[in-house]
Amino acid sequence: MLAPLADYVRALRGWRRVLLTIALGAVAALALPPFHIIPVLLVAFSGLIWILEGHDVEPRPLRGALLTGFWFGFGHFFLGLHWIVEPMLVDPARTAWMIPFSWPGLAAGLAIFPALACGVQAIGRFGNNTAARVLVFAGLWTVSELLRGFVLTGFPWNLIGYVWAGNGPGLPMLQASAVVGVLGLGTITILASAMPAVLGAAGPGSSWRSTLVLVITLLIPALLWSGGLYRLQNTEDSYVPDVRLRIVQANIAQKDKWNPELRTQHLEKYIRLTNTESPEKPTHVIWPETAVPFLLANDALIRGQVARAIPPEGALITGSVRSAFHDGGRQLFNSLLVIDWAANITQVYDKSHLVPFGEYVPLRGVLPVEKIVPGQGDFTAGPARRLIDVTGLPAFSPLICYEAIFPGQVTPDDVRPAWLLNLTNDAWFGNFAGPWQHLAIATSRTVEEGLPMVRAANTGISAVVDAHGRVQGWMGVGVEGVLDTALPRPIPATPFARWGNLIPLILALGLVVLGLVLLRRRDTA
């Protein structure tokens, strides 16, 4: 059926093959937020499989497959992470020079992981057994994504499973991540997207190949989507009684945020918004990451001003830079503070997973660069994740900024919270793709863990999401205001919450084994 096109792609060599591979990687990025053009994955990954098949007749297939995986990954991450230039444009005089290095450099670094997936599959010598190749490739791709979440502190942004994230038509499909996680959902997505490549094989067996594509590409996703829809339609909204949260989104531009001439104005803005009149009085107030340019933990006078806006017997949960003595010297922490109505700090959480080059410089003294976040010196990482108890609230797991993007790493190991709180400052990510991707990624944790999430962002997107990933309320990018909301209840721990990334790893390795078993058969696909 598609044999002539497949033969043409397999026969490509040189710069034509490189350009097509980069283009296919970029096309695959269009399936991710904010575009969600999911059908393009069929083109991107089927085309990639055909290119990989073309290496089998070359003298060095492993080298060719590694390069193909690299160029596919480069195109994919170059387009999908184009917002990475935004942080360098906040203070262009200081950091714009990094753009020609950071944007392609990040894409090239992350492209190593698809390169490994493509390179390892080449060892199998699949020949024209496309079905076996697809099974092995889908498993190896997932292993590479899992590694991407840990190597060099990890950056699991734009995993393929996130094509289903968001409050749109993909939400029923996302429900499968309660069992297999977003990584496992990505495995299924890759498998379904790449399996049409078997239609590019010539010769007998076309009926068998068509049936295989029908089952893998259409039937299995349809069953998962239907099951997810049933799950969503058979749940009732349930909220924690006597809790009314107020999320404050002040919408302060990043270029103005740390201007010393404006910092009093910023503080007054947060207090004014917090005091917004409403029919139902809030019990607790939430401000975003590093909400105001003061060291609240170190400044009792400013904390006293803030306390006047806190509900009686309630509390303010806010992000703030904190200075404290640590390991024999004064250190800076990106912290979450709980301040009661008497201006006392009752709880502190220091961000434990810092952003390389954003909050600290790896190999400082060797690399000739400064961190992007302004200020002298690096931030210090806090201890391991823990629960925060606030009077009048169920215990929650705090997540500052991109701490929410790590599947299976958003709760303490020994105790289960009742909800997730994500404080972030997405002003660093611009106004287009970055904030929407971050929202979709962070809120995917709700389905995986069976826990609701409350999210407070400086410039958006602030949101309240229930334990099934449904957005209950939100404020968009560039909006100033408050979001008053009830707190959704959690649901019983999901399989993924119990077993974590072990489930997608077993699924991925199972596909690899199944593909190798199929490879032993004489039948071709």
CA atoms within 13 A on the CB side of 460: 15
Q: Enumerate the H helices of 379-470 as residue ranges.
A: 433-449
Query: CB of 375 within 8 A of CB of 344?
Result: no
Cα separation, 167 vs 465, in Å, equals: 9
Task: Map 454-504 to HEC letters.
Answer: EEEECCCCEEEECCCCCEEEEECCCCCEEEEECCECCCCCCHHHHHCCHHH
Q: Is 351 a catalytic residue?
A: yes
Q: Is 289 a catalytic residue?
A: yes
Residues whose CB is less than 8 angstroms from the CB of residue 168 and which lie 6 or more positions away in sequence, other chains included = 36
Query: CB of 439 within 8 A of CB of 463?
Result: yes
Catalytic residue among 145, 257, 371, 401: 401
Query: CB of 266 within 8 A of CB of 292?
Result: yes
C-alpha distances in Å from residue 441, one per residue of 52, 422, 507:
30, 12, 21
Q: Is 313 a catalytic residue?
A: no
CA angle, residues 48, 51, 53, in degrees to nearest 5: 110
Residues whose CB is less than 8 angstroms from the CB of residue 279 and which lie 6 or more positions away in sequence, other chains included = none
User: At how many degrees (to 10) do helices 14-29 and 40-54 cross?
Assistant: 150
Cβ-count burial 350-360 (b if 16+ within 10 Å, e if not):
bbbbbbebbbb
Catalytic residue among 53, 86, 145, 289: 289
Q: Residue 134's closest CA among 27, 2, 42?
A: 42
Determine how β-strand 462-465 pairs with β-strand 471-475: antiparallel
Cα separation, 488 vs 453, in Å, equals: 8
Catalytic residue among 53, 351, 403, 448: 351
Number of Cβ within 10 Å of residue 372's Cβ equals 19
Residues whose CB is less than 8 angstroms from the CB of residue 152 and which lie 6 or more positions away in sequence, other chains included = 356, 362
Query: CB of 482 within 8 A of CB of 274?
Result: yes
Residues marked active site are found at 289, 351, 401
